Structure 1
Amino acid sequence: MIFHFGLFLGFQLVGEILARTLSLNLPGPVVGMILLAALLLLQPRIGHAIEKTATGFLSHLSLLFVPAGVGVVQYLDQVSDIGLPLAAALVGSTVLSIAAGALTFKYVNRVRGVPDETPE
């Protein structure tokens, strides 16, 4: 388990190094996640090996939102000034994300030849 966690952190570190060295417009952890995804596509057995560790890590992912919540409370006066535009942006981006996902799902099904089962 510690080896697998070290693997995750190693990919994050490599991504951070690449992002800073190459002046990429992507955060280092995202670059590392892309590299890890590429590795898992090339070597599926690695995915099976790290599955238990990844599942355990994801079950505690909500703990990472605690610092963000503390930040919101700390700057509550500023958040209250921009609350309405912020709420509109959150709701709008959520709706657009769901729509984009649904349309992508329908497109992939059409390309794969899966019949559309939308109720009439």
Structure 2
Amino acid sequence: MRLIKQFGIILAVTFIGELLHYIIPLPIPASIYGLVLMLIALKSRLIPLHKVKDAGSFLLEIMPMMFIPATVGLMVSWNSLRSILFPVLIITFITTIVVMAVTGCITQLIIRLEKRNSK
């Protein structure tokens, strides 16, 4: 029963993200709205972590299975992708490096700000 309540909370936040996506005319995916809302709710302690922790852990454990449909889709469209494979690999490599660098810089900035605020 506890897991059902936790999934309900996660689904409610996701639904609110979907509503925001429908209302706000920005090219931002609804899932991003939901993630930002969940982050705000957790950081502000509107939703205590223990209210969603078990369901979140379960979702993280089954995440690899969620990539199976995308992988099958790539296998099905392999003939179309073969001609552009090299550019796709280069773009993927470059964007991965950029995302890692930006994430690292933002994380360091947040850590510095938290240390400065705690003093």
Alignment-mate amino acid for residue 57 of structure 1: L
Structure 1 residues 108 and 46: alpha-carbon distance in aligned structure 2, compared to 1, 3 A threshold: closer
Alignment of 1:13-92 (within 5 A): 13-43=15-45, 46-92=48-94
Q: Distance in 1 between matches of 2:15 and 2:61?
A: 22
Between Structure 1 and Structure 2, how many residues are aligned?
Answer: 113
Runs of 5+ in structure 2 lacking a partner? none
TM-score normalised by the chain length of structure 1: 0.81
Greater relative contact order structure (CA < 8 Å, 6+ sep): 2
Structure 1 residue 82 displacement after superposition: 0.9
Q: Distance in 1 between matches of 2:109 and 2:18?
A: 34
Q: Distance in 1 between matches of 2:85 and 2:74?
A: 11
In 2, are the aligned partners of 1:13 and 1:29 still within 8 Å (CA)? no
Structure 1 residues 17 and 83: alpha-carbon distance in aligned structure 2, compared to 1, 3 A threshold: same
SS in 2 for 1:82: helix
TM-score normalised by the chain length of structure 2: 0.81
Runs of 5+ in structure 1 lacking a partner? 114-120
In 1, are the aligned partners of 2:15 and 2:34 still within 8 Å (CA)? yes
Q: CA RMSD in A?
A: 2.0
Post-superposition Cα deviations, 1:13-65, rounded to whole Å, max 9, x if no partner, equal 11111111222211111101111111111117611222122112111111110
